[in-house]
Every structure is written in structure tokens, then in C-alpha cells.
Structure 1
């Protein structure tokens, strides 16, 4: 009797732990080669490769989530080469007009000709970034928290941008590849707040 009761409690606790781990991980946005959670736009060469979203070549364009998000924490890893111009756009409203004036663009471009807009800046909103982080040629983490009017950006655990007057309208997320270079994204997840 004691063993049966203990096993039952253990099973319930195990199930609760699994459910909590699933909630903590949030919604994983890389769902295999079919990319069912994404919409591609433009000429960028987006593809699924080794559990990563990869874009390279000379194409310009975006990979956009099908879903919209209002208050969330976006976690991802990215890798760029020295020629890459990329970014992560959040709270976008118009799939035909993805731009720093219509979305919040967290830049990924260490060698931006205007260094105030380099990696970690919110383009046209929070420039220069609060930290100068070098990201070329290695895997990096990016965390973007959007809660109400607050946006907080962290690159490699360092706060690079703080904004407290952001538009609160929900919108989709877009990954960018612009002009040349290679960008890779992996372990992309959204946790609702």
C-alpha cells in the first residue's frame, strides 16, 4: 500500500514537472524543415539546416512568424559572418512594410557603417547600444523582453538597449537577411508574459 501511494505521488509530481518545463521553454519556433510557423518574403535564401534557420548569398528579405505576440520574452541564438547585415524585428504590423519605422528592429551587424546602430541597438529608437558586443564568427545569445511599453534587449547576457515608451500593439516577429553574408539562428523560443 505504501509503495502504491508513493508511486502515485511520484507519477503526479513527475507529470507536473514535465508540464512546468514545457511552460518554461515556451513556444519553440524552429519546427523542422517545413518551417510551418514561418512565412518567407523577399529574395533571401532561407532554409532549414542542422536545426538552424540559415540565410546567405546576396538576397534581401525576411522570415516572419505566422503568429503575433504582445507581451513576451524572445530567446534565440545567432551566428553571423563579418559581412552580415541582419536583425530581429518585433511587434511588426504589416508584412509588406517591415522597417525600423514600423517595427522595433534589434540590429545584428557589428560592422555597421554607423556604429550607433550596431549589434544590440534598437534601430532609430535606442542608439548607440549600451554595450559594444562583438558577435562575428561565433554563436551568441539574444533575449528581447517586450512587456507593456518596455523593451529590454540583452546580447550575450549584457543589456544593450532599454526602451520604456514602446508601442504595445501585438505583432509578428521577423528575422532579416540583407544584401550579403551569412546569418544563422537556432533555439528560437517565445515565452508569453
Structure 2
């Protein structure tokens, strides 16, 4: 019986990794049937390009099945496709003292990817310079909605992020902790923007659809298991 139990445990560990996925950067049969699509398969960056460009900088590289920003100057990445209502799941890991972000509803009309696009913050909460404001911590809707410290794992560890936008309802979870729950375009949303650094940014947060963005903030960051399901 003991031998059988150990054998079964080994088989289960072979099927499910520590992130809970059947295999890294792959979809299960149920996910495929449910409409999920990979935005990164662990081997190529064909679903991405640099902001306002047609290719990807060689400073974005693939390392051990993860999409890695190796050094500053790589430029922000955007998904080739645009999305309106969607469910996005990914994992991220930040270097010590690092800063990055995942952006939604991004367009290419502004000088920067964040000109109109809300950002979910990625940060080393312990050692990054931008750790003094609670709406700037990892998992927060940057400069708008604060996040509880229980949602973060330390630098060097993988964090799970889920961003769901459905009929203007924006919900964000980090490591299973809900960090944002707000209706875009509502009076609450307008107040959040009015009280943020984006108050005078024309067009900020007004897009109904757009690209997914991965930020180059100058620090090494990794992404993997990036998958999305369109909801409309």
C-alpha cells in the first residue's frame, strides 16, 4: 500500500506542477474546450510585438519556458490582438528591487503604452523605490486601488495574476486575493481617476477594448502561463 501511495503521488506531481497547471505554458483539454487561448507557449513570442513596432526586441528573451525582460531598453510589449471582454491569467516573477506591470485596454495613440491604459502593478514591495504608496504595490490598480499585503509573494517567487473584464466590470486577483472590483466608467471609476495622477491625462481609461501590455520599467521580470479567454 505504501509503495502504491508513493507511486500515485509521483504520478500526480508529474501531472500538476506547483502552479496548478497540467503542464507549463499549455492548455488542458477542458481549457481548450472552454475557449482559452495561449498568448505564450514557452517557446516563441509570436503573439507579441513591441509597442508601436512590428517586431520584438532581442532584450526580451525566452528562458526556461518564461518570457524574460533581460535589461532596460527592451521596450514595452503589446499583444498583437485586441480584446474587449476577457479573462486573462498569467504568472509573473520580479527581480529584487524591480518594477513592472500588466496593462489593459492599451492603444498606440499616445507616446507611451500607459498613456490611456490602466495598469496592474508588478513590484518588489520590499525593496523597490516605488513602495511608499499602497496603490503602487504589487497587484494594485496602479495609483487608483490599493492592495492588501497578503496578495504578494516576495521577489524571486512566482505570483499568479488574473484580470477579468466583462461588460465594464474590472476584477483583479493576485494569488487568489481579490484586489480590484470596479465598473469602468462608473462614478466610482471617475472618482478614482480624478484622485490619481491620471486626472489630467486625456483619454485615460476610456477605451472599450485594446491590447494587453507587458511593461519594460527597466528591471528584470519574467512571465509565463499567459492565457486568455474572450468573453464576447
With the length of structure 1 as denominator, give the TM-score of the two structures: 0.79
Q: Number of residue pairs matched?
A: 173
Counterpart for residue 6 of structure 1? none
- 1:185 deviates by 0.4
Q: 2:144 aligns with which of 113, 125, 128?
A: 125
Does the C-alpha gap of structure 1 residues 60 and 20 become closer, same or farther in structure 2, counting only changes over 3 Å? Answer: closer
Provide the C-alpha distance between the structure 1 equivalents of 2:166 and 2:149, rounded to a whole number of angstroms. Answer: 22
- 1:163 deviates by 1.7
- 1:131 deviates by 4.7
SS of 2:33's partner is: helix
Provide the C-alpha distance between the structure 2 equivalents of 1:188 and 1:45, rounded to a whole number of angstroms. Answer: 19
Contact kept, 8 Å, 2:71 with 2:218, in 1: the verdict is yes
Counterpart for residue 70 of structure 2? 56
Counterpart for residue 90 of structure 2? 76
Contact kept, 8 Å, 1:131 with 1:159, in 2: the verdict is no
Give runs of ≥4 in structure 1 deviating > 6 Å.
Answer: none
SS of 1:177's partner is: coil
SS of 1:161's partner is: strand
Say whether 1:98 aligns with 2:123. no
RMSD, aligned CA: 2.4
Point out the more displaced range, 54-63 or 170-179: 54-63
With the length of structure 2 as denominator, give the TM-score of the two structures: 0.67
Provide the C-alpha distance between the structure 2 equivalents of 1:105 and 1:36, rounded to a whole number of angstroms. Answer: 23
Say whether 1:173 aligns with 2:187. no
Provide the C-alpha distance between the structure 1 equivalents of 2:74 and 2:91, rounded to a whole number of angstroms. Answer: 21
Contact kept, 8 Å, 2:86 with 2:229, in 1: the verdict is yes
Select the structure that is richer in strand: 1
**Structure 1: gaps (5+ residues):** 1-17
Contact kept, 8 Å, 2:152 with 2:174, in 1: the verdict is no
